[in-house]
Amino acid sequence: MTHLTIDGVTKVFGDPDKDGVVAVDDLHIDVADGEFLVLLGPSGCGKTTTLRMIGGLETPSEGEILFDETVVNDIKARNRDVAMVFQDFALYPHMTVRENLGFGLKREDNGMSKDDIDQRVEEVATMLEIEQLLNNKPAQLSGGQKQRVALGRAIIREPRLFLFDEPLANLDAKLRKTMRTEIDELQSEVGITSAYVTHNQEEAMTIADKIAVLNEGSLQQLGRPEQVFNEPSNLFVAQFVGSPDMNIFEGTVESSGTGYRVELQDASFEIPEALVEGELSGEVFVGFRPQDFYQTNKRQADGLTFDADVRIVEPVGTKAIVHSDTPMGRVTAEIEEFHGLSAGDSLSLSISPEHVYLFDAETETLLK
């Protein structure tokens, strides 16, 4: 069991005084024993660089990485006892699955006999349900089977840490979902502290104990998936996490005596004082999650109700994503009762004040 600490880590590529790139900027993340951390963010935000520093493939320019109480900055990758799984599987093409699985154990000076290694290979193959493939070469495997072998190679040594770099990126959508559940189960079963890189927020939400949202090298939020979804620390996190995207509009807010009045283009509504901490006034971004809208026949007592002219209806199983024109502009809503609904229809949509997000227009931090 290993407790991972990333303590004020910065990574600059190139000359910091000239045209250096700050790939990671003063990152602080704590990952408890057995916890599953997901590093989430858009392309170029520094996820892979962070993972490579944990694995010892890059050296921090500043700050420290600790495994338990030990600073590992100067410990070489091969001596860190971490296992990495990459998106391209990185299997040896000329070796069978059995040889690929056993290779790491054979190479190490771990005192294991050939029989011990064979037994461990069988155990891991059974765990991953690839026993019948042990004599195949990688070219004879499907993408999902290759990824299972790559996982097998990672867990066979029972490392201190698992590091995953977009391990499911090369698999089709259905297999990706199956494999992410398997990785999640496997990780809980073996209880090894893990860090997992992805730009796919849905993958992050389902697999993580804790998500670190990164943008341009800096940490935007560190929290449990539901925290990051329900209480995004700023506009970036709010827009990056959740699908479909949060609806965002420019507006203003001011005190109304009994609460706060939010003014949007051709729409306004009241937020009761009890829902707000501190004082609100001035320019804001107003956010509505598509999942928080509901259909109404009449104007609701509180919150916002508006007319929506339906443009596109996209059924997704038991719900539909409905894009419509409203007095505020284009709105995306997730609606359950959509049968018979089509482009050109009119709807009345509402949202309760407790589900409204407000962000400071200048700093973009969450106000409510």
Residues that bind ligand ATP (CB under 6 A): 13, 21, 23, 41, 43-49, 199
Provide the angle, in degrees to the nearest 10, between the axes of the packed helices 97-107 and 143-155: 20
Count Cα atoms within 13 angstroms, Cβ side, for 319: 14
Alpha helices in the chain (DSSP H): 47-55, 97-107, 114-127, 143-155, 173-190, 201-207, 225-230, 235-240
Residues 6+ apart with CB under 8 A from 291: 334
As measured in angstroms, the least distance from the Cβ of 186 to ligand ATP is 23
- Residue number, 165 or 209, with CB nearest to ligand ATP: 165
As measured in angstroms, the least distance from the Cβ of 305 to ligand ATP is 41
Residue with tokens 């990785």: 183
As measured in angstroms, the least distance from the Cβ of 21 to ligand ATP is 5
- Residue number, 46 or 56, with CB nearest to ligand ATP: 46
As measured in angstroms, the least distance from the Cβ of 85 to ligand ATP is 15
- Residue number, 120 or 199, with CB nearest to ligand ATP: 199
- In angstroms, the CA 303 to CA 350 distance is 7
List the strands of the sheet with 62-67, edge to edge. Answer: 21-31, 4-13, 62-67, 70-71
As measured in angstroms, the least distance from the Cβ of 23 to ligand ATP is 3
- Residue number, 23 or 128, with CB nearest to ligand ATP: 23
- Residue number, 25 or 99, with CB nearest to ligand ATP: 25
| Token pair recorded at residue 176 | 């990706």
As measured in angstroms, the least distance from the Cβ of 218 to ligand ATP is 12
Which stretches of 208-343 are assigned E, i.e. beta strand? 210-215, 218-223, 247-255, 259-264, 267-272, 282-288, 294-295, 304-316, 319-326, 329-335
Nearest to 83 by CA among 19, 182, 165, 141: 165
- Residue number, 23 or 208, with CB nearest to ligand ATP: 23
